Amino acid sequence: MNQFLSTLVFATAALVVTPGIAQPAAASPAGSQQSGPVGVAAPAPSGSASQAAAGAIRSQNIFDVQPDASTEPGYRDQTNGERAKVQPGNNAPMWRQVSGGITGYSSLPASQAPEAGNLIQGFVDYPFMRETNAGEAWRQVRNRWILPYGAALLGIVVLALALFFLAKGPLGHTHPESERKFERFTPFERAAHWSNAFAFVALATSGLVMAFGKFFLLPVLGLSLAGWLAYALKYVHNFMGPLFAVSLAIIVLTFVKDNIANRADFHWLMKLGGLLGDAQVPSHRFNAGEKGLFWWGITIPGIFVVGSGLVLDKLIPGVGELRGQMQIAHMLHASLALWMVALLIGHIYMGTIGMRGAYRAMKTGYVPEGWALEHHKLWADDIRAGRIPAQRSGDGAPAPERPAAPLQA
């Protein structure tokens, strides 16, 4: 047994040592003889030896390898089946079609899932942007245009109002409560206004948190609390939308008759509403600035914001089922909502600290006669002349208490 083990050890050692001994002989000049053991032939070139060696590992420069089979004829135009013949497992043709917006087969009915066969939307070419698929284009519009420029607009408005307040302070003068009162807003008008204002503030707050919360709330509140807050405000946003829509319709129908442009509005605009001077420009019940806000800050954008919101909530039958419709509705909704917030920040400023007596008018419905003459002289002159009742709610008797003052342009 010991003799067998010794023989096995020596044989193993011989197998290990032999490759090291059989090194290739150095090349000798022609006609010279090689030294070394007789019968030991010079080995073949190393490349041939590597290929001939069974189980040998062949190294190669990775940059010389072409695993994509790109040298095949018509490689770029191959179908998935043709590609599998030259390169099994390569599904690039299928994914190229998917990323190109091709619509495949789906067993789901089109009435329930109209885009079930389409994984990635087709390419669109928006202005000032590179051509890309519709989903990526929507993301870029939101993140590169709507959010940064919307935030800049809000910041500019707040800064401008702060500078204006520091420079001019509250507009107007304080008038004694003992003066004769004119009813500026009826109880119904005030109820419609405050309902719309409440809904708008809730929508604006929740919308701004959902749009910008990750920038200024997430670092402060943390992921969990900020996430739950945004989740709760999303439901506030959805349920306040219908209240805003109804109150907006009431606001428009109630105040539209007094927001039609007239000659006095052009005079007001020519003097910028007295912005550069100390005196107020005469106007009727609403001046040109308030009328502009009514049309371009509330009515027109409000209609589109409400309509796009209904699309986003899928409350309009047959609309909002496609991703493209939702993307357009969202871009319209977000852009016009930020526009409304910017303009109504100015409205809130003028209705609170920007003008003396303005908040009291919407709170109680009445303004002193001196306030009416200072800020809306043509409206006050019509009341004093009996053309408009001093109190429109209740009896609304138009009997003036003093002679009418002459109208001033």
Separation CA 42–CA 54 (nearest Å): 20
Helix crossing, 323-351 with 147-168: angle to 10°? 10
Let me know if residue 91 belongs to a domain: no
Let me know if residue 3 belongs to a domain: no
Say which DSSP state 124 is in.
E
pLDDT at 239 over 90: yes
How many structural domains does the chain have? Answer: 1
Tell me which H or E stretch contains 209.
helix 187-216
pLDDT tens for each residue of 330-344 = 999 999 999 999 999
Cβ pair 211, 199 in contact under 8 A: no
pLDDT tens for each residue of 50-99 = 454 555 666 766 566 555 566 767 777 888 888 888 777 788 888 888 88
Cβ pair 280, 298 in contact under 8 A: no
pLDDT tens for each residue of 308-329 = 999 999 888 888 789 999 999 9
Where are the alpha helices (H) located in 79-146, listed in sequence order?
Answer: 80-86, 92-99, 134-141
Nearest C-alpha neighbor of 206 from the set 166, 177, 238, 174: 238
Number of neighbouring beta carbons within 10 Å of residue 141: 19
pLDDT score of 117: 87
Nearest C-alpha neighbor of 384 from the set 399, 395, 397, 370: 399
Please, is 323 exposed, middle or buried when counting C-beta atoms within 10 Å of its C-beta (0-12, 13-18, 19+)? Answer: middle
Query: Tokens 């007789």, residue?
Result: 38
Q: Which residues pair with 366 in a beta bridge?
A: 183
Nearest C-alpha neighbor of 203 from the set 161, 159, 247: 247
Residues whose CB is less than 8 angstroms from the CB of residue 83 and which lie 6 or more positions away in sequence, other chains included = 69, 90, 91, 92, 93
Better-predicted residue by pLDDT, 300 or 59: 300
Let me know if residue 6 belongs to a domain: no
Let me know if residue 340 belongs to a domain: yes
pLDDT score of 179: 81
pLDDT tens for each residue of 144-168 = 999 999 999 999 999 999 999 999 8
Separation CA 283–CA 346 (nearest Å): 19
**Which structural domain range is residue 278 located in?**
132-167+179-384
pLDDT score of 68: 57
Cβ pair 390, 400 in contact under 8 A: yes
Let me know if residue 301 belongs to a domain: yes
Let me know if residue 246 belongs to a domain: yes
Let me know if residue 73 belongs to a domain: no
Nearest C-alpha neighbor of 316 from the set 326, 327, 324: 326
Torsion on CA atoms 332, 335, 336, 339, rounded to nearest 10: -170
Mean pLDDT is lowest, of 85-94, 201-210, 400-409, for: 400-409
* Average of per-residue pLDDT across 346-371: 94
Better-predicted residue by pLDDT, 13 or 240: 240
Let me know if residue 304 belongs to a domain: yes
Separation CA 308–CA 319 (nearest Å): 10
Say which DSSP state 352 is in.
T
CATH classification at residue 216: 1.20.950.20
Nearest C-alpha neighbor of 342 from the set 141, 142, 148, 151: 151
Q: Across all residues in the chain, what is the average pLDDT?
A: 83
Amino acid at 65: V
Torsion angles phi and psi, residue 395, rounded to 5: -70, -40
pLDDT score of 25: 43
Separation CA 230–CA 253 (nearest Å): 34
